[in-house]
Amino acid sequence: MKMRKIACLTPAVAGLMLLTACGQGGGDAGDEASGASGENATAALPNGMTVQEQIEARQKKLENIGGAFKTISDQLKSDSPDVAAIQTAAATVPAEATGMADWFPEGTGPDSGVETEALAIIWQEKEDFLSKISDMQNAAATLNTTAQGGDVAAIGEAFKATGGTCKACHDKFRLDD
Amino acid sequence: MTADKRQLVWDWPVRLVHWSMAILVLLLWWTAEEGIMDWHKRLGLTMLGLLVFRLVWGIAGSWTARFAPMIKGLAKLPAYFAALLKGGHKPSFGHNPMGVLSVFALLTLLGLQVGSGLFAVDVDGLESGPLSTFVSFGTGRDFADYHEFNFDILAVFIGLHILAILSYQFLIKDRLIGPMITGKRPAQDFGETPLPTMAVRPAALFAALLIAIGGVYLVANAG
Ligand code: HEM
């Protein structure tokens, strides 16, 4: 990712060559997806879901977490934050994140044929991945308790701390977009 | 060479805005790559101010800064290009018709870049542009994806822009770089035809500054 950007900007700066190569390298957002039609997609997992169902279900949960996170972020930016809205959203995060350790069974990685930003390294470094999940769940629980207390400054701190645990995992285990 | 009369071709606001934008694009790219998002957003808002200023200056600035003559100049593009191929290049006062294309492409892409940044939301919901409070998380993510994609296009067009300038400098021997720094060219480059005046009107400058600063202030405090 970084290399691609550098490779893209260097010619812009130097004004030389590589322009078309750069254009072709642009927009990798969907490169990893080879369509959801592969036979892997419909293979059944031990938990009864198909691979595709599992991946889509976790993405939906993560979307909800992201949405709740944005609600909190928006309110914290405001001059008069709506504490009730923050409290509802803060309660959503740990609720949605329950059982996250089970969302990534073997076979739901980049080879599954389903569009996913989960990287193969998740299954190579399972220990670390699981510990990052519990870091986030703990931080989210603290955020929720803090939010119910209603002190906006403290909520801001807990929010940043939780956000840091999302980022720590994404930086390593999620395809950078 | 001595005692040559020098003709002003770019007023100082155009030059200042031009080089500030060039430096800011580099800094914006660097701060984004390094994740220094506080500065990315501050510099991004500065870029917004420069863009708004430049758009107003395209209406109220000195003659070579204005869009209307540039658009008229576009009509001459085929003839200009044909002459260029035959080796009969003549320097233009202000943007040549090829340069006009570059101006519009770069300003449009910069506008899209800044505009999408204002609404962009990071995947962790931690970082977001000042207008992102008006859109849903999903929409903000779409803006962020577009923001990333558009930067590649922007980089390609900046590359083309620089490549074109270098070709003029070294192949066609029409030196464009110096005038964008000093503002001036030898008057003899333009023959005897009377040229439009290049006055910077203080009231226009004041209005452009006011609109740019006011606009940035409103956007920064909208959320
Ligand atoms: C011409 C001006 C700008 C340039 C060249 C620029 C460039 C970039 C680049 C290269 C990225 C990294 C994309 C990636 O690799 O994920 C980025 C991300 C970002 N920019 Fe800008 N930007 C500009 C203006 C702005 C403005 C005005 C704002 C808002 C105030 C903004 C907010 C953001 C945000 C929130 C991200 C993170 C999005 C994400 O994490 O996916 N940008 N920008």
Q: In angstroms, rounded to a whole number, what is the distance separating the alpha carbons of residues A110 and A120?
A: 6
Structure confidence at residue A77 as a pLDDT band (50, 70, 90):
confident
**What are residue B121's phi and psi, to 5 degrees?**
-125, 135
Long-range contacts of A146-155 (CB under 8 A, 24+ apart): A146/A90, A147/A72, A147/A83, A147/A86, A147/A87, A147/A89, A147/A90, A147/A91, A148/A87, A148/A90, A148/A91, A150/A83, A150/A87, A152/A76, A152/A81, A152/A83, A155/A72, A155/A76, A155/A86, A155/A90
Spell out the residues 6+ positions from residue B204 whose beta carbon is closer than 8 angstroms to its own: B57, B60, B61
Token couple for A135: 């870091």
In this predicted structure, the answer to whether residue A146 has a pLDDT above a threshold of 90 is yes
Please report the pLDDT score of residue B92 as a whole number: 81
B45 φ, ψ (degrees, to nearest 5): -70, -35
Distance B214 CA to ligand 1 centre (A): 22
pLDDT at A29 over 50: no
Short-list A133, A55, A63, A51, CA closest to A98: A133
**Which amino acid, residue B29?**
W
Label residue A14 by pLDDT band (50, 70, 90): very low
What pLDDT, in 10s, does the model give residues B138-161?
999 999 999 999 999 999 999 999
Cross-chain Cβ contact A177/B121 below 8 Å: no
CA gap A153, A171 in Å, rounded:
27
pLDDT at A37 over 80: no
Q: Give the C-alpha separation, A65 to A52, whole Å.
A: 20
What's the token pair of residue B143? 């803006």
- Tell me what pLDDT residue A149 has: 94
Q: Contact at 8 Å (CB) between B131 and B223?
A: yes
**Which pLDDT value is given to residue A24?**
37
| CA of A136 vs chain B CAs: smallest distance (Å) | 12
Residues A43-64 have pLDDT tens digits of 888 888 899 999 999 999 999 9
> pLDDT tens for residues A97-134?
999 999 999 999 998 889 999 999 999 999 999 999 99
Is residue B102 within 8 Å of residue B160, measured between CB atoms?
yes
Rounded Cα gap, residues A105 and B35, in angstroms: 31
CATH number of this structure's domain A2-173: 1.20.120.10
Put simply, the answer to whether A8 touches B141 (Cβ < 8 Å) is no
Angle of helix A126-149 relative to helix A152-173, nearest 10 degrees? 170
What does chain B come to in residues? 223
What is the rounded distance in angstroms from the CA atom of residue B155 to the CA atom of residue B153?
5
Distance CA A139, CA A142 (A): 5
Residues of chain A neighbouring B140 (CB-CB closer than 8 A): 70
User: How many CB contacts within 8 angstroms connect chain A with chain B?
Assistant: 99
Helix (H, G, I), strand (E, B) or coil at B155: helix
Higher pLDDT, A23 or A87: A87
Question: Would you call B133 and A78 a contact, using CB atoms and an 8 Å cutoff?
Answer: yes
Asked if A22 reaches chain B (Cβ–Cβ under 8 Å), the answer is yes
Both tokens assigned to B24: 């800011």
Distance CA(B92)–CA(B163), nearest Å, equals 19
Between the two ends of chain A, the Cα-to-Cα distance in Å is: 8
Determine the residue of chain A that is closest to B166 in CA distance: A15
Q: Please compute, for residue A63, the number of CA atoms within 13 A of its CA located in the half-sphere on the CB side.
A: 14
Q: How confident is the model at residue A38 (pLDDT cuts 50, 70, 90)?
A: low
Alpha helices in chain A (DSSP H): 2-14, 19-25, 51-77, 83-97, 121-124, 126-149, 152-173
pLDDT at residue A28 tops 60 = no
Domain boundaries, chain B: 11-220
* Residue whose C-alpha is closest to residue A130's, from A158, A108, A102, A92: A102
Between A3 and B46, the more confident residue is B46
pTM of the model: 0.83
Full DSSP string of A138-168: HHHHHHHHHHHHT-HHHHHHHHHHHHHHHHH
Query: B223 contacts in A (CB within 8 Å)?
Result: 74, 77-78
pLDDT at B9: 87
Indicate whether A31 pLDDT > 50. Answer: no
Count CA atoms within 13 Å of residue B207 on its CB side. 12
Average pLDDT over residues A20-40: 43
Q: What are the chain A neighbours of B144 within 8 Å (beta carbons)?
A: 177
The whole-number pLDDT of residue A2 equals 42
Residue ranges in chain B whose pLDDT is less than 50: 1-3
Token pair in block for residue B11: 């007023």
The ipTM, to two decimals, is 0.73
Mark yes or no for CB contact A66/B123 under 8 Å. yes
pLDDT at residue A117 in the model: 94
Q: Looking at the domain covering B11-220, what would its CATH class be?
A: mainly alpha
Mutate one of A62, A74, A159 to test the B interface: name it (highest B CB count within 10 A).
A74
- Summary mean pLDDT of chain A: 82
Going from N- to C-terminal start, the domains of chain A cover 2-173
CA dihedral over B1, B6, B7, B8, signed as positive or negative: positive
- Once rounded to an integer, what is the mean pLDDT over residues A14-40? 41
